[in-house]
Amino acid sequence: MIKNILFDFDGVILNSMKIRTDGFREIFSNFQKDDVDMLVDFHNKNGGLSRYIKIEYFFKRILNQEIDVEKINEIAARFSEIMRYKLTDKRLLIEPTINFIEKNYKAFNFHIVSGSDQDELRFLCEKLKLRDYFVSIFGSPTVKDDLVANIIKSHSYKNSETVIIGDSINDLNAAEKNKIKFFGFNNPDLKKKSDKYIENYNLIF
């Protein structure tokens, strides 16, 4: 019996992938397009990873340049400014998920665990009037594996009663590492890898 549901944010609650992709292109507009295209490809394949990891990947793996934490944080802050401006549009909310959350937030313990920046995430949830539906909202720079582990431990949740709903392989990996169920959503590539795949929330819960 599922009692605790941990939601990824991007692609599950908010249709934000294109805007985040455009954001990376904007903050790296002074770099070679081919290099930025490689970053965007990495970003699209790793939706659950934090921007901090993606920025570091861009410099170290694509550009073969060193970058320190201070510079990563500076670039991440510029990215967050763009996201705070563009992602508060309620039309970006993913209707099936929002309907399920609004109808069931008193029946389950809902949490958000996201690769998005935590301060930005909480800002967006306030602006989109989602905050009151969730017991907690956590994001990067803490990695998702640890976020999930911390929630389970701090609330004394049973692993057998806890599930992650996500749209990326990183969500699946976080579930596996924490020995909880994974329900895929909004990504057909995850159908065969999920404990259950959500086509319709009413058929799952």
Tens-digit pLDDT profile for residues 143-202: 999 999 999 999 999 999 999 999 999 999 999 999 999 999 999 999 999 999 999 999
Task: Tell me the pTM.
Answer: 0.89
Structure-token pair, residue 26: 């904007």
Q: What's the rounded Cα separation, in Å, for the pair 112 and 44?
A: 20
- Confidence band of 123 (pLDDT split at 50, 70, 90): very high
Asked if the peptide bond before residue 96 counts as cis, ω within 30 degrees of 0, the response is no
CATH topology of domain 17-86: DNA polymerase; domain 1 (1.10.150)
CATH classification for the domain delimited by 4-15+91-204, as one of 3.40.50.1000, 3.90.78.10, 3.40.50.620, 1.10.3720.10: 3.40.50.1000
Q: What's the rounded Cα separation, in Å, for the pair 112 and 185?
A: 15
Give the residue among 37, 35, 54, 43 at the shortest CA–CA distance from 11: 43
Tens-digit pLDDT profile for residues 45-85: 887 788 999 999 999 999 999 999 999 999 999 999 999 99
Q: Return the domain boundaries, the chain.
A: 4-15+91-204, 17-86
Q: What's the rounded Cα separation, in Å, for the pair 115 and 117?
A: 7
What is the Cα 109 distance to its own chain's centre?
18
Tens-digit pLDDT profile for residues 87-108: 999 999 999 999 999 999 999 9
User: Residue 178: which residues within 8 A CB-CB, separation 6 or more?
Assistant: 145, 148, 149, 152, 159
Q: What's the rounded Cα separation, in Å, for the pair 187 and 106?
A: 27
SS (H, E, C) the chain: CCCEEEECCECCCECCHHHHHHHHHHHCCCCCHHHHHHHHHHHHHCCCCCHHHHHHHHHHHHCCCCCCHHHHHHHHHHHHHHHHHHCCCHHHECHHHHHHHHHHCCCCEEEEEEEEEHHHHHHHHHHCCCHHHCCEEEEECCCHHHHHHHHHHHCCCCHHHEEEEECCHHHHHHHHHCCCEEEEECCHHHCCCCCEEECCHHHHC
